[in-house]
Amino acid sequence: MQSQEELEQLRDFAGKLETLFQTVAGEVSPAVVLIESETTVRVRVPNIPFRSPFDNFFDDFFSEPFGGRPAPGAPSAPQREREMKRRGLGSGCILDEEGHVLSNNHVVAGADELTVTLADGRKFSAKVVGTDEKTDLAVVKIEGDPKDLPTVRLGDSDAVKVGQWVIAIGNPFGLRHTVSAGIISATGRSIGVAEYESLIQTDAAVNRGNSGGPLVNLRGEVIGINTAIVGPANLGIGFAIPSNMARDVLDDLVAGREVVRGYLGVYPKDLTPEMAQAFGFEGTNGALVDEVLEGSPAEKAGLKAGDIIVEFGGKPVESASELRRRVAATDPDTTTPVEVWRDGKELALKVTTGDLATVVETEHDWLGLHVQTLTPEMAANLGKPGLEGVLVADVDEDSSAGTHIKPGDVILSVNRNKVNSASEYGTLMNKAKSQGGVLLRVLDSETGRARFIFIRNGRQR
């Protein structure tokens, strides 16, 4: 049993911790805003000349219970296109006194109108000045020359440690300036929501509407931008984009420029314990070079398939996603030291990064799908441990496959050939284009069922 003196010491510590949380929340909350978006979308509706009390009955009569496709044998109602307004909610944090606000790309992309509400209740129109789908980040600017804007401070996300306390601030479900607390559960997560990830995982409550809001350490520094949850709300699994990743692209976003990224020219993959043992490598930190592209900066620097990249730019590399982020954040034409493990010993190389924007896209882009190799961690997050294939990271708006394939789905085979990596997918898709069509085996991320889809000349069967 603890003594009275020990209890008093614990109470004193708890009181100081409470005060610290209150202070941080009070410092950062004023710089967190509510972002409301309005987007015009076109939908197909029954072609009824006027609206009447029977319209809902008409819709229900020709639909399955709870909405869905027409019942078998039911006549098809005439259709017409109609414009509707879709409204969304998100969060953001004010970067500077000029009114630049950092948020998620998916919060503001495609919006016709944006309204920003400050903590003090002031409302302003806003416009998008820069977006980056590859990191799911965006910057909007408050219009109307607002005065006395509070701002946030960006911290060093590379210094984040598992177990440290964090605070998430945002507007979940439109509930303004909600504060929740938790710890860092993991770092370097990849879940397929963006091309460049290495996300921070937290158990602080992050719900819909929190997207774009800050994840803050107890020094009051923003170490992440909340971006995603897994499954239903309140499961204690939320993700944030590291602040250093945001810092890498902020100058371009604020200036309204296309983000400039470095290019290496390798297909990296995460190390499993079995792979590490096979290569005689201790541990699983590093990125295994699965393939080196011909004529790439990596090939010119002497990198080879089977190399394990352990350092890039003088900093340790823990995963494939971290390597991709580091390379992307490196300016083109920069000579960077690279440490690799090859044949039982470390080797020092120097690589001069290329410009990703100048890299010729492979022909499989004719389908409009952007894919990445499905890692064991991604498969586990999907509830399918051991699954192999490529994860659909994005689908172009005008894609012929967009009707039945969506981000998060997994492509298992191309023309009945199993695919295990993005490079294999690209090779098979190049062949399929010359043949005029492609048969895909796709695992639906919502239903968990696999199905065949045939695509030819922009039409699906």
Which tokens in the block code for residue 364? 């499989």
Q: Note the pLDDT of residue 241.
A: 94
CATH architecture of 262-358: Roll (2.30)
Burial degree of 50 (CB within 10 A; 0-12, 13-18, 19+):
exposed
Percent share of the chain, pLDDT over 70? 85
Q: Where in the chain is the domain with CATH 2.30.42.10?
A: 262-358, 363-460
| 57: pLDDT strictly greater than 70 | no
Set 132, 136, 203, 307: catalytic member:
136
Distance in angstroms (rounded) separating the CA atoms of residues 159 and 118: 30
Q: Average of pLDDT values for 420-425?
A: 78
CATH topology of domain 1-44+84-259: Thrombin, subunit H (2.40.10)
Q: What is the pLDDT of residues 109-129, one digit of tens each?
A: 889 999 999 999 999 999 999
Q: Note the pLDDT of residue 61.
A: 39
Q: What is the pLDDT of residues 274-303, one digit of tens each?
A: 999 999 999 999 999 988 887 889 999 999
Distance in angstroms (rounded) separating the CA atoms of residues 438 and 422: 16
| 60: pLDDT strictly greater than 80 | no
Set 29, 37, 157, 211: catalytic member:
211
Q: What is the pLDDT of residues 26-50, one digit of tens each?
A: 999 999 999 999 988 777 666 655 4
Q: Where in the chain is the domain with CATH 2.40.10.120?
A: 1-44+84-259
pTM beyond 0.85, yes or no: no
Burial degree of 179 (CB within 10 A; 0-12, 13-18, 19+):
buried
| 349: pLDDT strictly greater than 90 | yes
| 171: pLDDT strictly greater than 70 | yes
Superfamily (CATH) of domain 363-460? PDZ domain (2.30.42.10)
| Reported confidence tier of residue 63, pLDDT bands at 50, 70, 90 | very low
Set 100, 106, 364, 370: catalytic member:
106
Residue 211 a catalytic site member: yes
Residue 370 a catalytic site member: no
| 180: pLDDT strictly greater than 70 | yes
Which tokens in the block code for residue 106? 């998916």
Residue 364 a catalytic site member: no
